[in-house]
Structure 1
Amino acid sequence: MAKRIAGKLFQTPEEAGVPPLTEEQIAEYMARANAHRAKMAAVPEEDRVELSERFHDDLSGTEYEGWTPEDDKK
């Protein structure tokens, strides 16, 4: 069943009408994601930059502001 959390609607792929990925699609995605992670890890520490909060903070102004994934592990 779809849930609305922090102003966002969360649905299962079936609820959203999205067909399941094939094994080939999953393998291609994982290969691309791993290649991207390797490129990111290869950047020297002194050359890394932090993106502004506006690029990755979807929780500001919601009941989940300040929440981190680690909070669920406690």
Structure 2
Amino acid sequence: MPKEVGGKIFYTAEEAKELGFMPSPEEIARNEAILAAFDQTIRETGPAPEGTAPGFGGRFSDDLDGTEWEGWTQDATGQWFDQDGNPVNEGNQ
């Protein structure tokens, strides 16, 4: 049975195969080549300019944007804080 987490729907491998969501070997090879080229570009790219945010910016800079965890932050100790700055315990999520 599909499971929804963070606004995304996850299927088991069997469900995905039954629904036709599994890629062909050719699609996998093509995508691996695209990712290898992207990884090479990233390795060759220098660091972000001083004073700018790392990453691609916009909607690609925060994986939590658009989910129920939008605005949450994590400190260096691994403690999570909600959008209001309140500490979040594992059981409170």
Same fold (TM over 0.5): yes
Report the number of matched residues: 67
Mapped contact 1:59–1:66 kept (Cα < 8 A): no
CA distance in 1, matches of 2:59, 2:5: 19
Q: Percent sequence identity over matched residues?
A: 25
TM normalised by structure 1 equals 0.56
Structure 2 unmatched runs, 5+: 79-93
In structure 1, the gaps of 5 or more residues are none
Distance in 2, matches of 1:8 and 1:35, equals 27
| Greater C-alpha radius of gyration | 2
Runs of 4+ in 1 over 6 A off after TM superposition: none
**3-state secondary structure, aligned to 2:62:** coil
Q: Which amino acid aligns with 2:64?
A: L
Determine the C-alpha separation between the residues in 1 that align with 2:73 and 2:2: 24
Going by fraction, where is helix more abundant, 1 or 2? 1
When the two chains are superposed, the root-mean-square deviation of aligned CA atoms in Å is 3.3
Q: CA deviation at 1:5?
A: 1.2
- The alignment status of 1:7 with 2:10, answered yes or no, reads no
